[in-house]
Chain A
Amino acid sequence: GNSVTQMEGPVTLSEEAFLTINCTYTATGYPSLFWYVQYPGEGLQLLLKATKADDKGSNKGFEATYRKETTSFHLEKGSVQVSDSAVYFCALIGAGSYQLTFGKGTKLSVIP
């Protein structure tokens, strides 16, 4: 079956630091890949997505590139802000499916 593995948190960074949250996946065929963000007490918001190999999703300064050869979709941001503090979930929808498979989430805390 499909699975998503994220780096375990929590991750604590200083403001303006570089962020990488690793995500690797297992799936047959070519899944679609997503990053969702959950702010405290809220639901999930779609942050970015990529649908085929070498696609780069980007939004709000965050980027992730769909790497088929390494089955990865790492999330990056060049300079984090305090407002980026949240839990980040990597997820996929398998080929021919419409159900999301989530990673366990990575909590990011950005300190001033």
Chain B
Amino acid sequence: GAVVSQHPSWVICKSGTSVKIECRSLDFQATTMFWYRQFPKQSLMLMATSNEGSKATYEQGVEKDKFLINHASLTLSTLTVTSAHPEDSSFYICSAREWLAGETDTQYFGPGTRLTVL
């Protein structure tokens, strides 16, 4: 099946620093990737939709200058949390959209990245 990887799986950083998280589709090309944030014991909150070669579309309330998204190739999207603060600590999950002609759109998820900002 389709596999999506994320790196790193966990990261601890100091307040004010920036952190980059990578999301890769390993065995398929993903023109669209999604970034979610998940708080403890809650569902996933869609942060932004990332389209290869174009600017990301951010959901209402998500600061695009704080959460920088780059989708430079069909297999890689990155999320950079700039000037991170403790309230940015969360579990960040990416997904990649696999679309095959005549098939159902399906999203495959990465394993997530646990960010802790001290």
A positions within 8 Å CB-CB of B: 32, 34, 36, 41-46, 49, 51, 89, 93, 98-100, 102-105, 107
Contacts and interface: CB of A to CB of B under 8 A. Distances in A.
B46 A44 contact: no
Interface range, B side = 20 to 34
Interface stretch (B11-19, B60-68, B74-82, B107-115): B107-115
Contacts of A32: 104-105
B102 to A, nearest CB: 11
B106 A99 contact: no
B49 A99 contact: yes
B43 A49 contact: no
A84 B49 CA distance: 31
B93 to A, nearest CB: 5
B106 A43 contact: no
Contacts of B28: none
B112 to A, nearest CB: 4
Nearest to B94: A43
Interface of B: 1, 4, 6, 32, 34, 41-44, 46, 49, 93, 95, 97, 99, 104-112, 114
Given A43-B109, A89-B43, A98-B105, 13 more contacts: A32-B105, A41-B114, A43-B4, A43-B6, A46-B109, A49-B104, A49-B106, A51-B104, A98-B32, A98-B97, A99-B34, A99-B46, A100-B95
B97 A43 contact: no
B110 A43 contact: yes
Nearest to B31: A98
B105 A102 contact: no
A105 B40 CA distance: 12
Given A98-B32, A98-B99, A45 B42 contact: no
A105 B41 CA distance: 9
